[in-house]
C-alpha cells in the first residue's frame, strides 16, 4: 500500500505498469500548457461576474462561512497541492465525513453521495452546474492542474490504490476529463481508472479540445452532477 509523506509532499507511486510512450510528447506538453494558460486566463476574466454572483449567494446563505474551500489533493508524481473550489457544504463538513463514508454512491477508492446532507442549498445548485469548480482555473494557472486530465484524488483515496491505479498520477490532473464526459458520478472507480488510462495513452490537443467542448454542457445543467 502506498503512503503519503507530509514532509516532502510526495507519494510513493511504486512501479506502475508502462504507459505507451509518445514521440511528440514534448511538443504536446508545450501546446497543452499554452492552451491551459490562455483559456484559464480568458475564463477568469470573462467569468468575473459569475464569481461575484456565486460568492454573494454563498455569503447570503451563510454570512459567517468562507466563500472558498481548499483541499489537499494528490497531483502528478504524487505531489500534494491545494485545490480550490467554491464552498458548497456547511462549515466543518470534513469532520462529518466519517459518519457518511459507508454511504458512498460510487464504488472503489473515492467518495460520492447524491443526497449528501452536508451540501447547502446554494451548494446543490453550484454543484449541479459545476460552478463550484470554477476556482480551479487558478490551479491551472499555477500549473498543478490542467484543464483536461484525470481528477486529482485525495491522499486517503491514494492510500488504497493498487500499482495499476497509480498510473493516474503519471500526468498533471485536470479540471475535466473522459470521466466527466462519460457518465461522471454514474461511473465506478475502476471504470474511471480505465478512462483515465485511455486518455493518458491517446491524449492530444484535439482530444483535449473535444473534452472541453463536451464539458461546457455541464455548466448548463447536466443532471448527473452532485
pTM: 0.79
Contacts of 226 (CB under 8 A, 6+ apart): 112, 113, 114, 116, 119, 124, 127, 128, 185
Domain residue ranges in the chain: 24-220
106 φψ region: left (φ > 0), alpha (ψ -120 to 50), beta (else) = beta
Grid coordinates representing 112 are 460520492
User: Residue 3: what pLDDT?
Assistant: 46
Distances, alpha carbon 137 to alpha carbons 53, 123, 218, 219, in Å: 17, 19, 16, 15
Which pLDDT value is given to residue 179? 84
pLDDT of residue 101: 57
Under-50 pLDDT residues of the chain: 1-11, 14, 105, 226
Per-residue pLDDT, 99: 57
pLDDT at 123: 86
pLDDT at 118: 78
Cβ count within 10 A of residue 177: 24
Amino acid at each position: 500500500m502506498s503512503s503519503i509523506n507530509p514532509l516532502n509532499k510526495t507519494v510513493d507511486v511504486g512501479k506502475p505498469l508502462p504507459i505507451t510512450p509518445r514521440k511528440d510528447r514534448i511538443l504536446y506538453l508545450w501546446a497543452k500548457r499554452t492552451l491551459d494558460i490562455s483559456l484559464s486566463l480568458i475564463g477568469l476574466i470573462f467569468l468575473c461576474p459569475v464569481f461575484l454572483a456565486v460568492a454573494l449567494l454563498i455569503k447570503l446563505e451563510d454570512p459567517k462561512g468562507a466563500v472558498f474551500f481548499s483541499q489537499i489533493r494528490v497531483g502528478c508524481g504524487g505531489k500534494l497541492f491545494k485545490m480550490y473550489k467554491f464552498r458548497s457544504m456547511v462549515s466543518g463538513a470534513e469532520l462529518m465525513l466519517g459518519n457518511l463514508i459507508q454511504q458512498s454512491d460510487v464504488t472503489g477508492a473515492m467518495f460520492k453521495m447524491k443526497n449528501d446532507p452536508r451540501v447547502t442549498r446554494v451548494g446543490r445548485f453550484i454543484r449541479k452546474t459545476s460552478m463550484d469548480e470554477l476556482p480551479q482555473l487558478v490551479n491551472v494557472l499555477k500549473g498543478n492542474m490542467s484543464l483536461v486530465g484525470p481528477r486529482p484524488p485525495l491522499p486517503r483515496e491514494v492510500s488504497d490504490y493498487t500499482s495499476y491505479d497509480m498510473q493516474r498520477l503519471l500526468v498533471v490532473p485536470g479540471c475535466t476529463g473522459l470521466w466527466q464526459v462519460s457518465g461522471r458520478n454514474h461511473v465506478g472507480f475502476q471504470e474511471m481508472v480505465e478512462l483515465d488510462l485511455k486518455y493518458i495513452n491517446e491524449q492530444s490537443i484535439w482530444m483535449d479540445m473535444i473534452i472541453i467542448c463536451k464539458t461546457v454542457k455541464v455548466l448548463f445543467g447536466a443532471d448527473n452532477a452532485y
